[in-house]
Homo-oligomer: A and B are copies of this chain.
Amino acid sequence: MELRIDALTALVGGKLLAGDGTKSVSGVAGLADAGPADLSFFNSVGYRKQFEATRAGAVLVTPGVEKGPDGVALIEVENPSYALAMLAREAEEAQQRFEPGVHPTAWVADDAEVAAGAAVGAHAVVESGAVIGEGTGIGPGTVVGRGVKVGRDCRIMANVTVRDGCILGDRVVLQPGVVIGSDGYGYEYVDGRHERIPQIGIVVLEDEVEVGANTTIDRARFGKTLVGAGTKIDNLVQVAHNVQIGKNCLIVAQAGIAGSARIGNNVIIAAQSGVNGHKEIADGVQVGGGSAVYRSIHEAGRYMGTPARPVKDEMRLWSALEKLVATTREVGRLRKEVDSLKGG
């Protein structure tokens, strides 16, 4: 990811004001942390001191800045932070780019279909009847089960498992270690033992769903466990069988959604929260970190706590808890005083 400063200048449509365009940068850092191999940016006069002392190899600057520290390349652009975001996008795409084609060490079943512009990485496995769409990359060591459909332009990273029959839309991203379609956790207690309830449904991830590292999404008992288009799930999240998650939700790290819960659109479930089985959460609800949703939530708004309640109520409760030691003592004192008044 090394880039010559003149190439970089061209890429952002900027103008090289100072410095040696034949030198290169390979990283990005803030003005204070940057070294000679880093690109930085100077956007706001509030950072003039850091700018004047920076050791960055190159700095994106707004029009009007004419001079920087000796030896630092200055690249003038209209909007440095936007230019940087564009560069970051380019860099990420370059980083995640793959050669189309099936790696010689991958194993693809005869009757699986891999699109011409898709890639299957080293030691990946694509089982019978699976379909991999155009522009999709399957990472090394990943296992795509029988009859799985993966859409176009997906990035399925290394060591992922997608079990039989699951369906992924377009532009889906699965980070390493994700498990899609594991058996739901369902048992019946019969004669003193837990008898397994067959789990023959699937998981459907709609377009632009992204799933974080080592997150698990169980297949449905019947039908499907569903994650709606545009929903982004973080690392180590548990989504149980038959859960229905709407569109454009955020489910943050280590949250857990129990079986058959139904979550609306644009819902945020913050980190380490839990949603009980069969509960419903309405569109636009935001659940704070570490909360436990015991009852369905029917109205948009912010909720928090165990059990989850409106944030305003939870904050009042916290404030009462802060005072609880004092309150308890006060009650003890009141008891004595009241006894004394009664006795007196």
Main secondary structure of the interface of A (DSSP, over half): loop
In the complex, what residues of B have CB within 8 A of residue A44's CB?
none
A214 to B193, CA, bound (A): 24
A135 part of interface (Cβ distance < 8 Å): no
Query: Chain B: which residue is nearest A160 at the CB level?
Result: B159
A292 to B142, CA, bound (A): 35
Name, among A139, A232, A328, the residue most crowded by chain B CB atoms within 10 Å (CB to CB).
A328
**Residue of B252, B274, B313 touching A272 (CB-CB under 8 A):** B274
Beta-carbon contact of B216 and A236 below 8 Å: yes
Beta-carbon contact of A274 and B252 below 8 Å: no
Copies in the complex: 3
A221 to B30, CA, bound (A): 12
Which 7 A-B pairs give the minimum distances between C-beta atoms?
A161-B176, A182-B213, A92-B198, A88-B198, A213-B216, A179-B213, A143-B158
Residues of A bordering B, CB below 8 Å: 1, 27-29, 33, 85, 88-89, 91-92, 95, 103, 105, 107, 121-123, 125, 127, 139-143, 145, 157-161, 163-165, 173, 175-177, 179, 182-183, 185, 187, 192-194, 196-201, 208, 210, 212-214, 216, 218, 221-223, 230, 232, 234-236, 238, 240, 248, 250, 252-254, 256, 258, 266, 271-272, 274, 276, 289-290, 292, 306-307, 313, 316-321, 323-325, 327-328, 330-331, 334-335, 337-338, 341-342
Jot down 8 A-B pairs with beta carbons below 8 A, ordered by A: A27-B223, A107-B140, A175-B182, A177-B216, A194-B232, A238-B254, A238-B271, A321-B324
